[in-house]
């Protein structure tokens, strides 16, 4: 009986204290509340210039879509065109081409997502790798190197259906750290034009 009375007294005290305490929780980001959450993903095409030559990249990206504004996720892309390695960098071997890919964490902001046509802006931070390759032969691992990549971009997005959106625009890929023969960071850094196919839940 005494234990029950003691617990009742403690509970009553806590309730009274909570009612008197009007202070608000301190947070790093003020006023941010999750009012809706969805997600999407899909394939992505990019045209770019690598080493002064036309390059086509294919990959995909996606993530969690919060408050119909913010996306937090990731993306990755690989070069599907074959760009020849210059003879001076190929050590006398013929038929060499570059094999390149990159990816990383991606965040995107969507402006007025419910409108049929709206704007997007995103930033990818990650890394990649590039090496020499000969079709039908083992990878030339001794020619490979890794690089850091920072890629901001902006686009225009069209709501096709409730679950499908088409997003196109351009990015600038800034690469740093590559030392593969015949290609430099400046060769890897270039503007890209992209076309994204987004499938998911956007509400």
164-169 long-range Cβ contacts below 8 angstroms, 24+ apart:
164/197, 164/198, 164/199, 165/40, 165/198, 165/202, 166/195, 166/196, 166/197, 166/198, 167/120, 167/194, 167/195, 167/196, 167/197, 167/198, 168/193, 168/194, 168/195, 168/196, 169/120, 169/193, 169/194
pLDDT at 134: 83
Tell me the pLDDT band of 24, cut-offs 50, 70 and 90.
Answer: low
140 or 112: whose pLDDT is higher?
112
How do the domains of the chain map onto residue ranges?
35-201
**pLDDT, mean of residues 171-187:** 92
> Are the C-beta atoms of 133 and 97 separated by less than 8 Å?
yes
Whether the pLDDT of residue 12 is over 70: the answer is: no
User: Lowest-confidence range among 2-6, 19-23, 79-83, 128-132?
Assistant: 2-6
Whether the pLDDT of residue 186 is over 70: the answer is: yes
* Joined tokens for residue 125: 């931070």
Tell me the pLDDT band of 27, cut-offs 50, 70 and 90.
Answer: low
pLDDT digits (tens, 9 = 90+) for 61-79: 999 999 989 999 999 999 9
Whether the pLDDT of residue 46 is over 50: the answer is: yes
Tell me the pLDDT band of 132, cut-offs 50, 70 and 90.
Answer: confident
Give the mean pLDDT of the chain.
85
User: Lowest-confidence range among 72-76, 84-88, 133-137?
Assistant: 133-137
pLDDT at 25: 57
**Domain spanning 35-201, CATH class:** mainly beta
pLDDT at 1: 52
pLDDT at 114: 92
pLDDT at 5: 47
User: Lowest-confidence range among 48-57, 81-90, 115-124, 182-191?
Assistant: 81-90
């Amino acid at each position: 009986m005494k234990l029950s009375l003691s617990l009742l007294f403690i509970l009553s005290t806590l309730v009274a204290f909570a009612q008197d305490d009007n202070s608000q929780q301190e947070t790093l980001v003020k006023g941010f509340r999750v009012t809706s959450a969805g997600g999407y993903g899909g394939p992505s095409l990019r045209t770019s210039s690598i080493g002064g030559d036309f390059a086509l990249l294919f990959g995909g990206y996606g993530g969690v879509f919060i408050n119909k504004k913010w996306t937090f996720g990731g993306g990755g892309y690989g070069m599907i065109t074959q760009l020849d390695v210059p003879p001076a960098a190929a050590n006398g071997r013929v038929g060499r081409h570059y094999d390149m890919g990159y990816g990383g964490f991606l965040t995107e902001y969507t402006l007025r997502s419910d409108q049929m046509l709206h704007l997007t802006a995103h930033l990818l931070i990650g890394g990649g790798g590039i090496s020499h390759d000969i079709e039908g032969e083992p990878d030339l691992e001794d020619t490979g190197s890794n690089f850091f990549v920072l890629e901001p971009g902006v686009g225009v997005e069209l709501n096709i259906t409730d679950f499908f959106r088409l997003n196109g625009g351009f990015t600038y890929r800034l690469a740093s750290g590559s030392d593969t023969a015949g290609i430099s960071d400046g060769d890897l850094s270039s503007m890209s034009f992209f076309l994204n196919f987004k499938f998911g839940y956007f509400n």
